[in-house]
Structure 1
């Protein structure tokens, strides 16, 4: 397939929606019962999903509006940050989004190996030497598959998306019939679990989990250059989000109706398997485990595609080094894909030193995504305040102003909820990434940094240094 053919094929709204669903329905949903039970009871879970659902819906609307009003901007998350705040923040958004996708992909391999660890003890919780070794082999096997062409991988993702949603839907249906009112009532405030603090602290503790499961809401926006019509990008974003939100909230809340919170919190990941096993027996665990493996592999495929795409488009726009825009004969951004696979491999090696590799990579992935999301929401807010693209539609401007403002406030709150630990860890990843920005500037014969950019660089480097010192002294652990 030639490069021209690869870039002229277009995705339908159905395929784009599958990309959104395929990106969000991955490892996160299978860990929801235990992750929520560790933090809160039913009331806290309901409030958390209301906040996360409303906030992420506003963010989904932001991507929908921007796709229509700024059709010339491709690879949404990165492009919006650059257009609104300049080249260096745009670079940070592209790099952070890419790094977040890579770390998120590590959670998939950790969870798969943890699932198989129930059968093969040597795989442990997904962070043993055997588990990491097998995962690295799988990373490069998928690398070969994706290198064969973006369109071929997208078709596979569409098929896998259908296959992986079915077990989750069946889980919800079985639990709806098995729900016990007395257990659910006892879990309203947390039941017999450990103290979880006030309601605000409970909800705050779930925020990075909800961010993680919603990562990918911008999936259609990232592939906007492949859409048949720009309107399809927004439709796919909202359709995919609403379906996934209903699924995630159902999995979480119904689990409180079959086991006490304390037992839910202690379940081995994937905790959905343990919940279903408690209702129907051993086959329930096997069924969910198989569904998880299909789901996670599909999400891994979608996220690897998106990660490489962001680096590729940034390089095409001369905001990343030129070598990242190299394509192979199948039209795949192969150099960007190689860098993606390398970072995934490196983070997998880091998990060897983590006590809880899944939770660590989950929260780090969420924290890395927050800056790109915040900048995209703030750019939408900027457009509405200025009235740009709204000259003939003042009513839409007022509506979009509220949407963008709420999305900006929500993403800013998520930064607060992430806490200092994961912000410092994010800086450790962001700081060395600026080398790519320097290379890019030198390729263009320009100064590496302007004065305002030097200020942002100083903050990032300072955060990285503090993070490294905290790790070395044991004040920060992974």
Structure 2
């Protein structure tokens, strides 16, 4: 495929951001927030999450312009700033977290169908797993035909899936009941008492999940026509999707009481609309869910393969995954990605709440790579690197990167020890890929004492997680 055919327009890059962010999460927001809090707590949560993620988006924007030679941003920034092993962990964590996120998409599709066809249950029956497996490999072979073709489909699907969300928002505005919204505002009636901190904390991993994808344009920076398009697409996508998510969260409180929202099955947007306009509302949203989630799955399949491919091309993953087929698609990376997705889909058969588990674990795995990005942005500004150009921006960028880093650390702590341990359960064995790559190149496994400390912490965390799972202290 010619290089000129590989370039994405600003609209296509923005669609990659929107397509990556608008997936399973937005359709689950009413119930997720309804269980945790009322409108006031939701507003506080979105201010924290939106503010933190906006700062992270600004870091991505600045890095795209100041480090134009670094492609597949999440991984490349970690390696450039902190060395080979942290760079590998960032790439692996982002990749495996994205794979798990893809599993959550299939679970939501199957549970949506379960509302009409009981054989699909809550998305983890044998029939549901078989149907999801067929879908995984149909997408796989479509992507193998060319990234450009898949990106075009993603752009079309992105437009299509935003339509039912906007329709949902408009309909709820029409049926808006101010008295009901006031009744729910401070938490509503018939729900357990909880402090504001507890309410906000209960929403934190969910807000991370719905914001994952903010770096969609950065991941495809090597396909951008100009580097400035990457930063512009990131901010445009973030602002647009954030507005949709806040409205989807708050408007249900103006048409239903909080206990009713909290009791709905996922995707709860369908239940809310059905309660307002009748059964056709559930059908309408369910179609939107399936289109949206399939589109997000396509976008994230591309992202997963791209991150693994770039890491292999820079000698941080085994060389095998840096190969391309005749259509310029990283085929080996795509095969491993979908193989992992397939294994996790099968594992949902034994999970009590597969969607919630995959959502929270995806968020936890993504936070470490995000922390590396924020820290790298801080490092550049602190050391005045690249600030010979537009030096007046340094103090602003230093402040933005500091806030982004603090926010990310707060989110890791708020998520709880359970997901830190489950992350270690994946990071430690995943290091085998790093050993494989280093052996291919005849290099020393670890270059610094810090690398050994990080690896030891991952191994200890993995062992603790295994023991905790075996004894029932941790459940999935």
Deviations 1:6-44 (A, max 9, x none): 686200100000000000000000000000111111110
Q: Secondary structure at the match of 2:123?
A: coil
Query: Of 197, 200, 216, which aligns to 1:200?
Result: 197
Question: Take 2:55 and 2:402, find their aligned partners in 1: how far apart are those partners?
Answer: 9
From the superposition, tell whether residues 336 and 193 of structure 1 become closer, same or farther in structure 2 (CA, over 3 Å). farther
- Of 439-448 and 334-343, more deviation after overlay is shown by 439-448
Instruction: Specify the alignment match of 1:47 in structure 2.
Output: 44
Instruction: Specify the alignment match of 1:460 in structure 2.
Output: 458
Q: Following TM superposition, by how much is the alpha carbon of 1:116 offset from its aligned partner in structure 2, in angstroms? A: 0.4
Q: Is the 8 A contact 1:17 1:220 kept in 2?
A: yes
1:20 maps onto 2:17 in alignment: yes
Question: Take 1:440 and 1:365, find their aligned partners in 2: how far apart are those partners?
Answer: 25
Q: Following TM superposition, by how much is the alpha carbon of 1:449 offset from its aligned partner in structure 2, in angstroms? A: 2.1
Deviations 1:192-217 (A, max 9, x none): 24325110111111010000001000
1:118 maps onto 2:119 in alignment: no
Query: Of 309, 312, 315, which aligns to 1:315?
Result: 312
Q: Secondary structure at the match of 2:129?
A: helix
Q: After TM superposition, list the pairs within 5 Å mapping 1:97-176 onto structure 2.
A: 97-176=94-173
Query: Of 371, 374, 381, which aligns to 1:374?
Result: 371
Question: Take 2:86 and 2:4, find their aligned partners in 1: how far apart are those partners?
Answer: 28
Q: After TM superposition, list the pairs within 5 Å mapping 1:417-432 onto structure 2.
A: 417-432=414-429
Q: After TM superposition, list the pairs within 5 Å mapping 1:73-92 onto structure 2.
A: 73-92=70-89
Instruction: Specify the alignment match of 1:386 in structure 2.
Output: 383
Q: Following TM superposition, by how much is the alpha carbon of 1:182 offset from its aligned partner in structure 2, in angstroms? A: 2.1
Question: Take 2:399 and 2:446, find their aligned partners in 1: how far apart are those partners?
Answer: 35
Question: Take 2:320 and 2:4, find their aligned partners in 1: how far apart are those partners?
Answer: 19
Instruction: Specify the alignment match of 2:230 in structure 1.
Output: 233
Q: Is the 8 A contact 1:40 1:196 kept in 2?
A: no
Deviations 1:60-100 (A, max 9, x none): 00000000000000000000000111000000000000011
1:410 maps onto 2:407 in alignment: yes
Q: Secondary structure at the match of 2:192?
A: coil
Question: Take 1:302 and 1:156, find their aligned partners in 2: how far apart are those partners?
Answer: 9
TM-score w.r.t. the length of structure 2 is 0.98
Instruction: Specify the alignment match of 1:33 in structure 2.
Output: 30
Deviations 1:306-360 (A, max 9, x none): 0100000010011110000111111000000001001111111221111111111
Question: Take 2:444 and 2:398, find their aligned partners in 1: how far apart are those partners?
Answer: 36
Q: Is the 8 A contact 1:6 1:330 kept in 2?
A: no
TM-score w.r.t. the length of structure 1 is 0.98
Question: Take 1:315 and 1:50, find their aligned partners in 2: how far apart are those partners?
Answer: 38
From the superposition, tell whether residues 437 and 8 of structure 1 become closer, same or farther in structure 2 (CA, over 3 Å). farther
Instruction: Specify the alignment match of 2:7 in structure 1.
Output: 10
Q: After TM superposition, list the pairs within 5 Å mapping 1:428-439 onto structure 2.
A: 428-439=425-436
Deviations 1:375-430 (A, max 9, x none): 00000000000010112433200111111111111111110111000110111111
1:255 maps onto 2:252 in alignment: yes
Query: Of 186, 189, 199, which aligns to 1:189?
Result: 186
Which residues of structure 2 form unaligned runs of 5+? none
1:340 maps onto 2:337 in alignment: yes
Count, aligned residues: 475
Deviations 1:147-199 (A, max 9, x none): 11100000000000000001000100000111112221111122124325110
Question: Take 2:24 and 2:18, find their aligned partners in 1: how far apart are those partners?
Answer: 12
From the superposition, tell whether residues 6 and 394 of structure 1 become closer, same or farther in structure 2 (CA, over 3 Å). closer
Question: Take 1:193 and 1:222, find their aligned partners in 2: how far apart are those partners?
Answer: 45
From the superposition, tell whether residues 6 and 329 of structure 1 become closer, same or farther in structure 2 (CA, over 3 Å). farther
- Of 347-356 and 387-396, more deviation after overlay is shown by 387-396
Question: Take 2:298 and 2:352, find their aligned partners in 1: how far apart are those partners?
Answer: 27
